[in-house]
Amino acid sequence: MNDTKPKLNPSSDSGLMLPHTNRIKLLSFPYIIWMAGFIIIPLVMILFYGLTNKENSFTLENLAAIAEPINLQALGLALLLSIISTVICLILSYPLSIILNNIKLKSNSLIIFIIILPMWMNFLLRTIAWQNILEKSGTLNTLLTFLHLPTINIINTPAAIILGMVYNYLPFMILPIYNVLIKIDQDVINAARDLGANTLQTFTKIIFPLSLPGVISGITMVFVPSLTTFAISSILGGSKILLMGNVIEQQFTLGNWHAGSGLSLVLMIFVLLCMAILSKYDKEAEGSNIW
Amino acid sequence: MKKLAVLLIALTLCSAMLIGCSEDTSEKVYVYNWGEYMDPDVRDQFEEETGIKVVYDEFQTNEEMYPKIKENAVQYDVVCPSDYMIQKMIEDDLLAEIDFSKVPNLSNIDQTYLDSSKSFDAANKYSVPYCWGTVGILYNKTMVDEPIDSWASLFDEKYSGNILMIDSVRDAYAIALKYLGYNINSTDKAQIEEATKLLQSQYPLVQAYVVDQVRDKMIGGEAALGVIYSGEAIYTQRENPDLEYVVPKEGSNVWIDGWVIPKNCKNKENAEAFINFMCRPDIALKNFEYITYSTPNKAAREMITDEDIKNSTVAFPEQSVLERCTTFSYLGSELEAFYNDEWNKVKSGTN
């Protein structure tokens, strides 16, 4: 198990060298069993299916299938839409987190409560609700027609999918950024002020660099699910817009597990690439490692 | 690599079986049926009358059900696939022969449907018809200005953005192939490619590709035309009287869903008792009234009290309509993959 463990930074490494190491290690067993059963074994199976054909002989065909125009288009579109959604989430979340932080409510559990509240309902239901809102004769357009305003027809377009992604994943961006911001020591900011930094300088030199770990985990938590989603795109895109997730889902439901696994492996490369790039920035910010 | 994977799969299966074994399965029947395809009361009634507990699961498409039975992942005693899937399962040797001496209520099933079943179950040995229907166009009378009687309307630019196309490979191709005058079980790749071209030309006109959602969208007046299974049509008409269902003149697909017993089942006798129960006229009637899919049970049809439904051409189309319709047959894995690839081309919107 040890070799798959993420690199620990030196400080926590020395922490594990205490005499109680073994007993502490025992505590990780439930998680290790969980990880083996629900992460490692499925991954190995995907790897096996992805690299074999129906006769169970080794092939790279399933991976090469990504080069087909349909699949390339789906991958390109998935990357584009998830990048746009991530950027929108970031633009919305950062100022909001700063505002929430500045309000300094007595208990920040209220804020977390409000942000998490929508998540009490299943995300598929909320996405279907958006479908009803955005439809041609849906809630939004009925209201607009009533007010004699022009109607909005974005259902079954990429714009609706982006809306769905932003709506669903926004809390995953707000919470990590907010959590990092509230932990920034006010004294550090005061010190910067004392030493003559203006508001902008305090932000660019102190607050933003210190909040980077939150931003990084926020980006990961929005970008990765957006890239792989198939539910949002089929509900809000009317199954007319195929993202990578839809292509993979289709391969699996139509019974071609080998092709589906091959394409999943390709998608995984992109996810890992994204996380590798982000963790590099993360280290520069000297934050805690996200993987 | 391969050995490891096999070992892991075997381990998972063993543990799954151990969990399965820990319970006494003697007085249970594991049923795997389409979603929204049975009156829940019927299951309770079966449990009360026989003392056999029904464990009930649902699937959305034949393709979703197939791997579960094939991989032996979950053991079901009774499954309800469609025609071409029954044929595929017979060819793959996944089904057990039904002991019809345990299913005396089979006599209630109209001989016509047993005859049509022979197209996928040659000797009527493996399946008992449960529901049947056609695929057709549901249209909103207030949104069209001409009688709809042809698949041509689905490819008419006049209805651009007002068409709900079916999101299912075989059904979509059946429409295109019928419209082009070909057999819906075409094995000619040139014909299939021609159908692909036609479906690609339809892509810009389609509002959305849907299966179950077509019901609510048509009721809500979201589109003028939608492709729908006949069983759903009666329900939508009840909710929105502006809707009309038609089987286009070019002909269509007529499908039969039937009960089958997988080879690996554990409670074959309970399964047969369940199938027999489903064939009882009062039970078939109860199901029909709940799901509104046409029943092949002639005794049940006699018992329908609502004259409109009893004589509904949607639920029970005339013989002349049915003569234009064809059942699906299984085309083999190579052609199946070809159809899927062609359909992906259509769905991706590239030409």
Structure confidence by residue, pLDDT tens digits, B157-171:
999 999 999 998 899
pLDDT at A147 > cutoff 90: yes
> Are B5 and A44 an interchain contact pair (Cβ–Cβ within 8 Å)?
yes
Q: Are B258 and B81 in contact (CB under 8 A)?
A: yes
Distance CA B91, CA A187 (A): 75
Residue of B nearest to A247 (CA): B344
Instruction: Enter the DSSP assignment of A9.
Output: P
pLDDT at A18 > cutoff 60: no
Read off the pLDDT of each residue in B196-206 and give the average, rounded to a whole number: 96
Residue A38 sits at φ, ψ, to 5 deg, of -115, -5
For residue B29, what pLDDT is reported? 94
> Are A238 and B221 an interchain contact pair (Cβ–Cβ within 8 Å)?
no
Total residue count of chain A as it appears in this document: 291
Q: Are B107 and B281 in contact (CB under 8 A)?
A: no
Give chain A positions within 8 Å (CB) of B337: 256
Distance CA B220, CA B201 (A): 27
Burial class (CB in 10 A: 0-12, 13-18, 19+), B5: middle
For residue B351, what pLDDT is reported? 63
Read off the pLDDT of each residue in B111-135 and give the average, rounded to a whole number: 93
Give me the percent of chain B exceeding a pLDDT of 70. Answer: 92
Q: Partners of B245 in the beta sheet?
A: B138
pLDDT at A289 > cutoff 60: no
Is residue B51 left, alpha or beta, with left meaning phi > 0 and alpha meaning psi from -120 to 50? left
Q: At what angle do helices B62-70 and B83-91 cross, to 10 degrees?
A: 20
Distance CA B75, CA B271 (A): 12
Give me the percent of chain B exceeding a pLDDT of 90. Answer: 71
Cα distance from A246 to chain B (closest Cα, Å)? 10
Give chain B positions within 8 Å (CB) of A156: 207-208
Give chain A positions within 8 Å (CB) of B67: 255, 257
Residue B61 near chain A (CB below 8 Å)? yes
Residue B299 near chain A (CB below 8 Å)? no
Structure token digits, residue B285: 């009637």
pLDDT tens digits for B291-320? 989 999 999 999 998 888 888 889 899 888
For residue B27, what pLDDT is reported? 85
> Are B206 and A240 an interchain contact pair (Cβ–Cβ within 8 Å)?
yes
Q: What torsion do the CA atoms of B70, B76, B82, B85 make, to the nearest 10 degrees? A: 10
Burial class (CB in 10 A: 0-12, 13-18, 19+), B247: buried
pLDDT tens digits for B236-255? 999 999 999 999 999 999 99
- Computed over every residue of chain A, the mean pLDDT equals 86
pLDDT tens digits for B328-345? 989 988 998 899 889 988
For residue B22, what pLDDT is reported? 45
pLDDT at A287 > cutoff 50: no
Chain A interface disruption, residue of B168, B345, B348, B350, most A CBs within 10 A: B348
Q: Are B322 and B301 in contact (CB under 8 A)?
A: no
* CB neighbour list of residue A259: distance below 8 Å, 6 or more residues apart: A62, A65, A251
In single-letter form, the type of residue at position B185 comes to N
pLDDT at A8 > cutoff 50: no
Distance CA B123, CA B125 (A): 5
Structure token digits, residue A224: 């990765």
Closest CA to B124 of B164, B155, B95: B95
Q: Are B294 and B316 in contact (CB under 8 A)?
A: yes
Number of H helices, E strands in chain A: 16, 0
> Are B67 and A255 an interchain contact pair (Cβ–Cβ within 8 Å)?
yes
In total, the C-beta contacts within 8 angstroms joining chain A to chain B are 73
SS3 readout for chain B: CHHHHHHHHHHHHHHHHHHHHCCCCCCEEEEEEECCCCCHHHHHHHHHHHCCEEEEEEECCHHHHHHHHHCCCCCCCEECCEHHHHHHHHHCCCEECCCHHHCHHHHHECHHHHHHHCCCCCCCCCCEEEEEEEEEEEEECCCCCCCCCCHHHHHCHHHCCCEEEECCHHHHHHHHHHHCCCCCCCCCHHHHHHHHHHHHHHHHHEEEEECCCHHHHHHCCCCCEEEEEHHHHHHHHHHCCCEEEECCCCCCEEEEEEEEEECCCCCHHHHHHHHHHHCCHHHHHHHHHHHCCECCEHHHHHHCCCHHHHCCCCCCCCHHHHHCCECCCCCCHHHHHHHHHHHHHHHHCCC
Distance CA B112, CA B264 (A): 30
Q: Which of A239, A254, A255 sits opposite B208 (nearest CB)?
A: A239
In terms of DSSP bridges, do strands B243-246 and B95-96 run parallel, antiparallel, or are they unpaired? unpaired
> Are B2 and A74 an interchain contact pair (Cβ–Cβ within 8 Å)?
no
Domains of chain A in start order, with CATH, are: 1-50 (no CATH), 61-284 (1.10.3720.10)
Confidence of residue B3 (pLDDT cuts 50, 70, 90): low
- Give the Å distances, CA to CA, from A133 to A70, A127, B214, B343: 30, 10, 17, 30
Cα distance from A131 to chain B (closest Cα, Å)? 11
Q: Are A201 and A192 in contact (CB under 8 A)?
A: yes
Read off the pLDDT of each residue in A226-236 and give the average, rounded to a whole number: 94
> Are A256 and B9 an interchain contact pair (Cβ–Cβ within 8 Å)?
no
Give chain A positions within 8 Å (CB) of B209: 238-240
Domains of chain B in start order, with CATH, are: 25-132+256-315 (3.40.190.10), 133-254+327-348 (3.40.190.10)
Distance CA B260, CA B52 (A): 18
Residue B219 sits at φ, ψ, to 5 deg, of -60, -40
pLDDT tens digits for A166-199? 999 999 999 999 999 989 998 999 999 999 999 9
DSSP assignment of A27-87 equals TTHHHHHHHIIIIIHHHHHHHHHHTB-TTS-B-SHHHHGGGSHHHHHHHHHHHHHHHHHHH
> Are B345 and A242 an interchain contact pair (Cβ–Cβ within 8 Å)?
no
For residue A285, what pLDDT is reported? 56
Distance CA A155, CA A204 (A): 39
Cα distance from A265 to chain B (closest Cα, Å)? 16
Confidence of residue B89 (pLDDT cuts 50, 70, 90): very high
Cα distance from A186 to chain B (closest Cα, Å)? 53
Taking an 8 Å Cβ-Cβ cutoff, which residues of chain A contact chain B?
A: 41, 44-45, 47-48, 51-52, 56, 69-70, 73-74, 135-137, 156, 238-242, 247, 250, 253-257
How many Å separate Cα A124 from the centre of its chain?
17
Distance CA A151, CA A141 (A): 5
